[in-house]
Amino acid sequence: MGNLAGHTILLTGASGGIGSAMAQELARQQATVMLVGRAAESLESTRQRITAVGGNAITVVADLLNPADRERLAVMASELPSGLQGLVHCAGINEFALLEGQGESAIEAQLSVNLLAPVLLTRAVLPALHKAGNATVLFVGSTFGTIGYPGYTVYCASKAGLRGFSEALRRELADSPICILYFAPRATRTAINPPQVEAMNQALGNAMDLPEAVAQAAVKHYLAGKPAQCYFGWPEKLFARMNQIMPAIVDNAISKQLAIIKQYASRQGRGS
Ligand SMILES: NC(=O)c1ccc[n+]([C@@H]2O[C@H](COP(=O)([O-])OP(=O)(O)OC[C@H]3O[C@@H](n4cnc5c(N)ncnc54)[C@H](OP(=O)(O)O)[C@@H]3O)[C@@H](O)[C@H]2O)c1
């Protein structure tokens, strides 16, 4: 029997690269996964992959920026007879561009999808998490939530906010059985990264992981319930630590990459 038999887990970003792979890992542990995203077809193909191997999943098409959709998710969670055992925030967007090239709407969208929506959704489903008792909330952050990086100013701010929120919530709920986790991948080969980011990472010698490997590590972290914050990938794991205690060293290392980063970061981002 899997470790998550009888658990229902709400997973946002389930139509994406890391989220879809996480959904399959969670289902392999016998959880019933609520697959949340906007792209109905991608959600459905993940659901079919799960059910084809005997797992359980349902799809919920929802835009996390839409209050009515968040409310619908909260109602679904509240109607679960044993509560909601797991909430995984994996939805996220980014814009790789210098700040001067980031439009206001792109800035707002990154802060809203990556930070505001997880805060509001967590609050909305808290009663269902309390009802479950030993529930787990896992936030998918990023190494960029700890290491500020050129070309990702707004994304870094959103993920740093998410990390801060998860830390404060963990301490706020320390007298309850709810477990709050933050999992930070490094660059991963998914649709979030446009070709110029892949090219830049190659030019800089930055490793890029496969989503399946990231998902396996994230679900391992979910199952272990510790450490509170987990960083995936070496040497990013070390840089994240170093950045907190000796930021000048990391400033210096990144300044050596700056010319190359600026070659690839468009002055005009994808959003307006
Ligand atoms: N790939 C990387 O290099 C990397 C590195 C570190 C951290 N991460 C983090 O990992 C997480 C997953 O990213 P990924 O690489 O798997 O990217 P992805 O393949 O682009 O997936 C992004 C997911 O976010 C969902 N999403 C975006 N806006 C949404 C909205 N308004 N409402 C509902 N869902 C929304 C997308 O669903 P729909 O389009 O169907 O709505 C999709 O499922 C993100 O939080 C990302 O920041 C990624």
* 1 within some domain: no
pLDDT at 266: 72
Domain that holds residue 92: 8-264
Residue 187: CB within 6 Å of ligand 1? yes
211 pLDDT higher than 80: yes
pLDDT at 271: 57
CB 160 within 8 A of CB 166: no
Query: Strand 56-61 to strand 32-37: parallel, antiparallel, or no bridges (unpaired)?
Result: parallel
Task: Provide the CATH number for the domain around residue 93.
Answer: 3.40.50.720
Percent of the chain with pLDDT over 70: 97
pLDDT, mean of residues 49-72: 98
Residue 257: CB within 6 Å of ligand 1? no
User: What's the number of domains the chain is made of?
Assistant: 1
* 31 within some domain: yes
75-84, pLDDT tens digit by residue?
Answer: 999 999 999 9
pLDDT at 269: 64
Q: What pTM, to 2 d.p., does this model score?
A: 0.97
* 23 within some domain: yes
149-194, pLDDT tens digit by residue?
Answer: 999 999 999 999 999 999 999 999 999 999 999 999 999 999 999 9
Residues 37, 69: Cα–Cα separation, whole Å: 11
* 3 within some domain: no
201 pLDDT higher than 80: yes
* 270 within some domain: no
1 pLDDT higher than 70: no
* 238 within some domain: yes
Mutation to probe ligand 1, out of 35, 38, 45, 152 (largest number of atoms < 8 A from CB): 38
Residues 76, 37: Cα–Cα separation, whole Å: 15
pLDDT, mean of residues 129-150: 97
Q: What number does the ligand 1 atom closest to the CA of 15 have?
A: 43
Q: Is the peptide bond before 235 cis (omega within 30 degrees of 0)?
A: yes
Residue of 158, 150, 147, 142 lying closest to 97 (CA atoms):
150
